[in-house]
Amino acid sequence: MKKVCVEEAVGQILAHDVTRILPGKEKGPLFRRGHVIAPEDVPLLLDIGKKNLYITTSEEPEVHEDEAAQRIVSFAAGSGVQASPPSEGKINLSAQIPGVLRIDEDRLIDFLSAGEICFSTATPQLPVAPGDLLAACRIIPLTIEQRHLEQRLQPWIAEPPLLWVEPYQPQKVGLVITGSEVAQGRIPDGFGPLLTQKNEAMGAMVLGRSYPGDDPDAIEGAILAFIESGATLVEITGGMSVDPDDCTPDAITRAATQVVSYGSSVLPGAMFMLAYRNEIPLVGLPGGVAVSPFSMFDFVVPRLFCGERLDASTLSRMAVGGLLAARR
């Protein structure tokens, strides 16, 4: 690869994509790597401020940005991940299947600490749908020494991929909608339709909805009835606060063999509760889930659908980034 002025590049093979930026309109390649520079290209290149170009020579001791990104992605991308063709040196990784984005964060940070490589990801441990952008990869310089790149990638040969989409496992979900006002028909059920839609979007079978009112015995009985009918997860809504009529946490505790946490540092979702009856998660969902498009439900339930058993420490770590009103 050799640097030459634009006027002297006519007839030469371009060694890199040339980007044109039209403010407010577009940003994309004017010419792609491999393009043979023609006389009529010179004014266009000068118009975008390009006085010099890199052209291909017979000596290629280094790896071009497109090929380097392809090599990195071939090791980094795991199951459920699809790579785009390189464009201007960058490859995008997107989800092929619904599930939860998993990233080996320690390995990624270690890999990037030597510089020269950009590998930017979406937030891990959150649900993704097919087509969602997961990561983007490129090298910072136009080329990278082949020996250096091979040394960076060598440890990955015997290791699993850097990121992947964990697929949802089939689930049977029971919905326990508490509140005497709902049971008596004084107000419509605001939880049931929303949770049905959210669970079915992850491939679950919703076994039904139960309306036990505010009686803790009835709530506990509804939970156990769903488990008896084959539920692999039970979601209990309403009555999760500290008001005198809020009996749901007590009922969940009675039905559980283990209480992981009552209360969280994710907002909305502070009054969230997670417990287990043996291997079956019991999920207490506060009112914020019914009015917020993204809540503690979306932090926790998709991971439960992947078969992950969550502990109190994992829930506590959700506090970082858990102020959902601040998400952009």
157 and 106, same structural domain? yes
274 and 222, same structural domain? yes
Distance separating alpha carbons of residues 83 and 137, to the nearest angstrom: 10
H helices within the chain, ranges in order? Answer: 41-47, 65-76, 105-112, 146-153, 180-183, 192-201, 216-228, 248-255, 288-291, 296-305, 312-317
Decide if 315 contacts 262 (C-beta within 8 A): no
Q: Which range among 15-19, 149-153, 206-210, 222-226 shows the weakest confidence by mean pLDDT?
A: 15-19
For range 113-118, the mean pLDDT:
92
CATH number of 224's domain: 3.40.980.10
227 and 195, same structural domain? yes
195 and 292, same structural domain? yes
218 and 258, same structural domain? yes
CATH number of 39's domain: 3.90.105.10
Q: How many domains does the chain have?
A: 3
Average pLDDT over the chain reads 91
66 and 46, same structural domain? no
Task: State residue 61's pLDDT score.
Answer: 65
286 and 246, same structural domain? yes
247 and 230, same structural domain? yes
284 and 205, same structural domain? yes
Q: What is the pLDDT of residues 140-151, one digit of tens each?
A: 988 888 888 888
User: Of 165, 181, 211, which marks where a domain is finished?
Assistant: 165
40 and 107, same structural domain? no
312 and 206, same structural domain? yes
Q: 135 is in which domain, residue-wise?
A: 62-165
Distance separating alpha carbons of residues 171 and 204, to the nearest angstrom: 5
Distance of CA 26 to the CA centre of its chain: 27
153 and 180, same structural domain? no
Decide if 306 contacts 102 (C-beta within 8 A): no
Q: What is the pLDDT of residues 209-262, one digit of tens each?
A: 999 999 999 999 999 999 999 999 999 998 887 776 678 999 999 999 999 999
